[in-house]
Amino acid sequence: MEFGIFDHVDRTGAPLHEYYEQRLKLAEAYDRAGFYCYHVAEHHFTPLGMAPSPSVYLSAVAQRTRQLRFGPLVYLLPLYHPLRLIEEIGMLDQMSGGRLQVGVGRGISPLEVGYYGQHPDRTQAVYEEALQVLRKGLTNQILSFEGQFFSYRDVPMEITPIQRPHPPLWMGVKSVASAEAAARDNINIVCLMSASDMRSRADRYRAVWRQHHPDADTEPKVGLSHFIVVAPTDQEALDIAARAYERWHTNFHYLYRLHGRDPVQGVRPPEFNQLIETGQGIAGSPATVTQFLRAQVEVSAVNYLVGQFSFGDMCYDEAGRSVELFARHVIPALRQTEPVAAAG
């Protein structure tokens, strides 16, 4: 069992120069605490995401940490020129000593990709072709490719990543079918859903992965993500979570409300206690959080637990204490948790 961090890098209300410094200090705290990886979202033109260029933000993370892996979850491939992204990936992996993890996807917000002139109906096709270019460019000295959207001939790849054949790939997964696709391509996954729903994805992912990669030594990460707040008492943690989540929820809906629309994916309930009821978040003392997450791991059969520890208007001291308590008390208690055996 490994533990990671997910961060929308959503706006707190602090001046941006102070905000970025606080986020980077939290990255240092994740590094000290021994987390496996720091995953950041990519969003555009919304307070939900203050890292619209993950590569720029993560280059600072690379310089402020020593052991922590990091990467976007995800790069929105329809918004990138593949050649430029191949070079950025090579740079980040070299600058970090081989710690980059590359999440890929097409994006969940039609409004954001629409601002860039991408029609939502074609983003899946663009994403799939861009991923082909990405994998080919990262594993060959000369790139040639002919597709519907991209065409290159004899492009020299001068900046290669340290990790070979390329940095590990990640996807955010929602359906069983997408879990199967990720398993076939040997891509790590992280899901935002209840533990019971996650179980079907985890079981199917592993079955397909073993079928297509029978000689592999190490199983990819199968991850489940939660909002997590830890404080000395349950009530203090719940108070912090409820207040901060209200701001996060407002940030999440910002663009949709601006356009008079509802979210098409990733909908979250308006209050944190409802998030707890759906099994997508927890706030409490170390003992309460441990009990909740142990049950989540047992039911879901994941080998990677991802926490969103900083969100909404949570201040640095609140988030930092939550991370410290989680690392000191919760992680040691969960390391030996075993999943419930699959039915049948």
Please give the pLDDT value at position 217. 86
The type of residue at 65 is T
Pair 286, 330: CB distance under 8 Å: yes
- Which sign, positive or negative, has the C-alpha torsion 341, 288, 224, 61? negative
Pair 19, 321: CB distance under 8 Å: no
CATH of 1-36+176-344, one of 3.40.710.10, 3.40.50.10860, 3.20.20.30, 3.40.1800.10: 3.20.20.30
Instruction: List the structure tokens of 35.
Output: 């987390």
Please give the pLDDT value at position 339. 64
Instruction: List the structure tokens of 32.
Output: 């000290």
In tens digits, the chain (344 residues) has pLDDT values of 999 999 999 999 999 999 999 999 999 999 999 999 999 999 999 999 999 999 999 999 999 999 999 999 999 999 999 999 999 999 999 999 999 999 999 988 999 999 999 888 999 999 999 999 999 999 999 999 999 999 999 999 999 999 999 999 999 999 999 999 999 999 999 999 999 999 999 999 999 999 999 998 889 999 999 999 999 999 999 999 999 999 999 999 999 999 999 887 767 899 999 999 999 999 999 999 999 999 999 999 999 999 999 999 999 999 999 999 999 999 999 987 666 655 44
Instruction: List the structure tokens of 47.
Output: 């307070």
Say how far apart CA 158 and CA 278 lie, in whole Å: 48
Please give the pLDDT value at position 342. 57
- In this prediction the pTM is 0.95
Q: How many helices (H) and strands (E) does the chain have?
A: 13, 12
Please give the pLDDT value at position 265. 74
Residue spans of the domains in the chain: they are 1-36+176-344, 74-172
Please give the pLDDT value at position 145. 97
Comparing CA positions, the residue from 203, 225, 223, 250 lying closest to residue 13 is 250
Please give the pLDDT value at position 340. 62
